[in-house]
Structure 1
């Protein structure tokens, strides 16, 4: 695996104060009933609106200012959001991964990006026996969505997902906090379990094993693997006033009937387009 841009968490914890709750209440028109220990809330979401303000260096997305390679453009935006200190969300490397089942039913969930470059694509780790793992085994087409409301930007990426060499999963496994390793070790992800106590009992046994034999005893589950999405489509979106948003798309062109994802090679071409908002 080539050199991959590694993702470090850049987070800032923030708690809601009384003023925040007052602001939230302004957008809610409904009822709250707690008389029988059941919360009943009816919300009027039509009144919830956001005013997009200029919070980045470039007020508009112009084709002349965009990188020729979409990976380079992603890198610029990602590094930009990582520099912001007063983040109101916890994980800037969080993204939504959408997959499709064998009967064409879509599903979506949040994951964490663990690396990216033009050679390997976008890297994440998960259980291959999970719902997304099964769906990716049947249909390798998937979509990723990064959304950063702090700067009114989002990036949508489509492509083909492949499993990485198990050595890559082994290398990353030992870099994870031991608590995260225990959490992944005890979980038969997406399987039905009887109750919360079932998980706590497995956690307790693994923690005892850790004390007796050390971290080396908490080995990587064989189904916990690394995945890489190699893109053939990028969409860079930036919010603008009055909903006249900017949308710049990169489409991978087929050269000699072959799709390639490496921006560094001459035979690989990306076509840039602007879409209506």
Structure 2
């Protein structure tokens, strides 16, 4: 088995990445790449790895990007979940996108903060009703006795909100990651990949550096 794993490899040959191609602002550059991802019609193009650290122990999980603008990268979740508690303890986080079909990766580091209540309300209002109810049903990350417990809670909340609007739970809402480091990775042959990083200076200016692969 180890021999089979060791022999798994892929040579990246699609494109290169040069400094002259980059936008001066990493958020604009991300939008450019993300538009290309959308045009490629990849499955779950907004899936990203959210990494947190609490008590010196790192944790990662996949969440879904729901917005990107000049303020940062936004997603929504349960504030009382394991990740929510870790964010509360340490607001320094990282995001990672990997689009293997385009041989591209983006790494983002920065500080995370809650979005406004209005932003959370606006997004919650456009979620499918089943997802709205799910936000009430799930006490995310808590131990439960069995699947039936979850299904019964779902029925209870369906009855509670039957015929009416499902309001946003107070424990559910948005986060925004405000970047101070963004790295764009383009796979290249022989593992000599292109890595170009934006680093935010103390003066608030983005500086671009090429990194050895």
The answer to whether residue 95 in structure 2 is matched with residue 144 in structure 1 is yes
Matching residue of 1:27: none
Match of 2:52 among 99, 102, 124: 99
Match of 2:29 among 61, 68, 73: 73
Please give the residue correspondences for 1:1-277 in structure 2 after superposition, counting only pairs within 5 Å.
44-54=4-14, 59-85=15-41, 87=42, 90-101=43-54, 103-118=55-70, 120-210=71-161, 212-214=162-164, 216=165, 218-255=166-203, 268-277=204-213
CA shift, 1:65, in A, is: 1.3
Matching residue of 1:258: none
Once the two structures are superposed, what CA deviation does each residue of 1:225-265 show, in whole Å capped at 9, x if it has no partner?
A: 1110000000000101111100000000012xxxxxxxxxx
Structure 2: runs of 5+ lacking an equivalent: none
What is the rounded CA distance, in whole Å, between the counterparts of 2:178 and 2:101 in structure 1? Answer: 27
Contact persistence 1:185–1:219 (CA under 8 A): no
CA shift, 1:51, in A, is: 2.4
Structure 1: runs of 5+ lacking an equivalent: 1-29, 31-41, 256-267
CA shift, 1:43, in A, is: 7.5
Once the two structures are superposed, what CA deviation does each residue of 1:1-36 show, in whole Å capped at 9, x if it has no partner?
A: xxxxxxxxxxxxxxxxxxxxxxxxxxxxx5xxxxxx
Q: Which has the higher contact order (CA 8 A, sep 6+)?
A: 2
Find the structure with the greater CA-based Rg: 1
CA shift, 1:44, in A, is: 2.7
TM-score (norm 2): 0.96
TM-score (norm 1): 0.74
CA shift, 1:203, in A, is: 1.0
**More strand, by proportion:** 2
- C-alpha root-mean-square deviation of aligned residues, in Å? 1.3
What is the rounded CA distance, in whole Å, between the counterparts of 1:106 and 1:148 in structure 2? Answer: 23
Contact persistence 1:115–1:122 (CA under 8 A): yes
Q: In structure 2, do the counterparts of structure 1 residues 247 and 130 end up closer, same or farther at CA, with 3 Å as the change threshold? A: same
CA shift, 1:63, in A, is: 0.7
